[in-house]
């Protein structure tokens, strides 16, 4: 059985026009939709019909951006998100749902970006309530996508350990984003094969692959690789996929991601189609084992949520520090300004100045400023 190859889909007609030939040739075998960007009733009718076709065929995946399972305390934004997800499932049937590791940089709906944790200073049990609430609302397999943004070498390494423990405790799966690992490898001068090897392949159910871009770090006088989804897939990643796909015995889906706004020129559109066809040629070389229900759901209604006394860490303090850090990234003028702050759950004095600078830029790009 070969993993299904498909697209991260968008409701812009320009995006549909770019990939129309792929649909006409029946090359788009599965769709992934980031449903929390746009409510069902606000989507174009043609887009909902497209999603419905794939839903009825059992070929539609859900991807969330704004749930923030690793914000240290449940709050009203979690409740609002879960209500939206319940409504979404009434309209469409999804095969599985995935979210991101990390926590949102802002406590606002539809704003912010995922920030990494210092994983060695927290425990997966700290986030049991948030993960179980999402599992309970989903009734389908739940996975988490690894982050591209890491502020230190230790975060790069410890993310793999944290994700492994998450899978083992909650029976979740991994969305292995190859370009995210490509960013980490470039930014910390590491081998991408060594990074992939840190993750338990038996939990890898889905692969993301995309392109990105570079930004310049003034503080480090070097280029930083960013997961911006706005460029061609790096040639090196095609080889990585070819080398590793036969080993991902339970991988069921490969999703190609690129933003519509990056596909305005004929050259970019042709490159997009070319990259997709390369992915299909690589995929067609291999088959993987059939998946034997690796994600038997742990229903939250059959388990009690942990009490504060049972938690590994002080969630209130962790929560306060998460948003003290997030707000600081909006306000500091230099990475050094952040390093003089005091935290219990962030080893920020050992972070890369270049990556702190990158996080500051991301905050300026994705956070909504208060009036």
Residue 102 has pLDDT above 60, yes or no: yes
31: part of which helix (H) or strand (E)?
A: strand 30-33
In this prediction, residue 369 carries a pLDDT of: 61
Torsion of CA 123, 129, 131, 135, to 10 degrees: 150
Residue 269, Cβ density class (10 Å: 0-12 exposed, 13-18 middle, ≥19 buried) = middle
In this prediction, residue 285 carries a pLDDT of: 93
Picking from 303, 211, 225, the residue whose alpha carbon sits closest to that of residue 262 is: 211
User: Cα–Cα distance between 94 and 62 in angstroms, integer?
Assistant: 6
What are the chain's domains?
A: 4-313 (3.20.20.150)
User: Cα–Cα distance between 25 and 27 in angstroms, integer?
Assistant: 5
Phi first, then psi: what are they for 213, rounded to 5°? -155, 175
The mean pLDDT of 43-67, rounded to a whole number, is: 97
Cβ-based neighbour number of residue 365 at 10 Å = 9
**The residue to which tokens 């943004």 are assigned:** 149
**3-state DSSP assignment of residue 166:** helix
Q: With cut-offs at 50, 70 and 90, classify the pLDDT of residue 289.
A: low
CB 98 within 8 A of CB 64: yes
Within 8 A by CB and 6+ apart from 296, the residues are: 171
Q: 216 - beta bridge partners?
A: 223
User: Residues 240-274: pLDDT tens digits?
Assistant: 999 999 999 999 999 999 999 999 999 999 999 99
CB 231 within 8 A of CB 212: yes
Q: Catalogue the long-range contacts made by 297-304 (C-beta closer than 8 Å, 24 or more residues apart).
A: 297/135, 297/138, 297/139, 297/140, 297/141, 297/142, 297/171, 298/132, 298/135, 298/170, 298/171, 299/135, 299/136, 299/139, 300/132, 300/133, 300/135, 300/136, 301/136, 303/132
Q: What would the DSSP string read from start to end of 244-276?
A: HGGG-TT--EEEEE--GGG--SHHHHHHHHHHH
Picking from 159, 234, 160, 227, the residue whose alpha carbon sits closest to that of residue 187 is: 227
Taking the alpha carbons at both ends of the chain, their separation in whole angstroms is: 53
Q: 114 - beta bridge partners?
A: 104
Residue 250, Cβ density class (10 Å: 0-12 exposed, 13-18 middle, ≥19 buried) = buried
In this prediction, residue 17 carries a pLDDT of: 96
- Please, what is the angle between helix 266-284 and helix 235-244, to 10°? 20
Residue 306 has pLDDT above 60, yes or no: no
Q: With cut-offs at 50, 70 and 90, classify the pLDDT of residue 290.
A: low
**The residue to which tokens 């999703």 are assigned:** 255
The mean pLDDT of 212-216, rounded to a whole number, is: 96
Q: 99 - beta bridge partners?
A: 144
In this prediction, residue 269 carries a pLDDT of: 97
The mean pLDDT of 15-23, rounded to a whole number, is: 97
Q: Measuring CA to CA, how many Å separate 124 from each of 167, 258, 292, 337?
A: 10, 31, 25, 30
**pTM of the full structure:** 0.93
Residue 211 has pLDDT above 60, yes or no: yes
Q: Mean pLDDT, the chain, as a whole number? A: 92
Find the range with the poorest average confidence among 8-17, 120-129, 247-256, 297-306: 297-306
């Amino acid at each position: 059985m070969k993993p299904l190859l498909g697209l991260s889909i968008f409701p812009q007609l320009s995006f549909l026009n770019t990939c129309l030939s792929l649909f006409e040739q029946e090359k788009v075998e599965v769709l992934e939709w980031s449903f929390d960007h746009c409510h069902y009733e606000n989507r174009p009718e043609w887009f909902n019909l497209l999603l419905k076709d794939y839903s009825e065929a059992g070929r539609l995946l859900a991807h969330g951006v704004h749930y923030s399972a690793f914000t240290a305390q449940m709050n009203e934004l979690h409740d609002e998100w879960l209500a939206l997800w319940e409504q979404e499932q009434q309209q469409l049937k999804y095969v599985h749902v995935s979210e991101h590791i990390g926590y949102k940089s802002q406590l606002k709906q539809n704003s912010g970006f995922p920030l990494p944790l210092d994983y060695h200073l927290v425990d997966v049990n700290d986030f049991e309530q948030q993960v179980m609430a999402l599992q309970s609302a989903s009734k389908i397999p739940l996975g988490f996508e690894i982050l591209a943004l890491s502020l230190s070498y230790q975060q790069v390494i410890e993310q793999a350990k944290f994700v492994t423990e998450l899978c083992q405790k909650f029976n979740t799966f991994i969305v292995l984003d190859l370009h995210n690992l490509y960013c980490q490898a470039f930014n910390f001068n590491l081998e991408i094969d060594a990074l992939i090897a840190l993750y338990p392949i038996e939990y890898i159910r889905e692969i993301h692959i995309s392109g990105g871009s570079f930004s310049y770090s003034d503080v480090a006088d070097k280029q930083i690789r960013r997961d911006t989804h706005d460029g061609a897939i790096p040639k090196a990643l095609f080889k990585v996929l070819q080398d590793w796909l036969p080993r991902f015995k339970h991988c069921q889906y490969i999703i190609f991601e690129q933003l519509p706004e990056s596909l305005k020129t004929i050259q970019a559109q042709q490159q997009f189609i070319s990259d997709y066809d390369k992915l299909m040629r690589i995929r067609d070389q291999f088959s993987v084992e059939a998946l034997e229900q690796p994600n038997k759901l742990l229903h939250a209604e059959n388990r009690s949520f942990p009490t504060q006394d049972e938690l590994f860490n002080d969630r209130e303090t962790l929560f306060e520090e998460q948003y003290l850090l997030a707000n600081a990234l909006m306000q500091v003028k230099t990475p050094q300004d952040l390093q003089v702050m005091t935290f219990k759950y962030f080893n920020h004095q050992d972070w890369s100045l270049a990556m702190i600078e990158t996080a500051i830029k991301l905050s300026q790009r994705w956070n909504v400023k208060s009036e």
